[in-house]
Amino acid sequence: MTGRLVLATRNAHKVAELQRILAGLDIELVGLDEYPDVPDVAETESTFAGNALLKARAVAQATGLPAVADDSGLCVDALNGMPGVLSARWSGAHGDDAANLQLVLAQVRDVPSARRGAQFVCAAAYVDPAESEFVVEGALEGTLAEAPRGSHGFGYDPIFVPDGYAVTTAELRPEEKDAISHRGHAFRALAQVLRGDS
């Protein structure tokens, strides 16, 4: 693909991350800061893929340009896959990372380490108003630590230990985390499709 691609976020870090991943494509990637009149889209679907598509469709319709959106979260085995799509507002207030993290820790306090499995999941959706749409997903398997560790990352990173690691994702350097993360997997898969590699 060529031309302008809109990422359905006002988060400059997400825009920069996707710019790195899509390097080599003949596109101009911009965030919603370029389109201040586009309203925020409520995440009302019951799946990550549904929410990502909802946002990408809304942005593509509002701008008339191809759009990319993602939705991601933490799925805890002992909590039947929750908080899942409710990850950002698990404690009630949207985006209160510390409260969300503490609530999950409290909910698994008595769960033995062998049953503290969890996954970070990300769905990335692409919508071209003139052509097509698709969704790709990425996941990172791991376990929950008993207490937060590390100062990098955000959200549930301080309590998530990826399989094969002894440290949390908040203890990894950003480039190490990007190489294995659910978002990294999803956006690299998205880049492959946009390049025509798959």
Q: Which domains does the chain have, with CATH numbers?
A: 2-195 (3.90.950.10)
Q: Of 196, 145, 192, 198, give the one whose Cα is nearest residue 21.
A: 192
Q: Name residue 19's amino acid.
A: Q
Does the structure show a pLDDT above 80 at 23? no
Q: What is the 3-state secondary structure (H, E, C) of 87-118?
A: HHHCCCCCCCHHHHHHHHHHHCCCCCHHHCEE
Q: If DSSP codes are grouped into helix, strand and coil, which group holds residue 121?
A: strand
Structure confidence by residue, pLDDT tens digits, 99-155: 999 999 999 999 998 999 999 999 999 999 888 899 999 999 999 999 999 998 788
| Measured CA distances, 29 to 24, 99, 149, 189 (Å) | 12, 33, 34, 17
Residues catalogued as catalytic: 71
Cα–Cα distance for residue pair 18/10, rounded to 1 Å: 13
Both structure tokens of 147: 């207490």
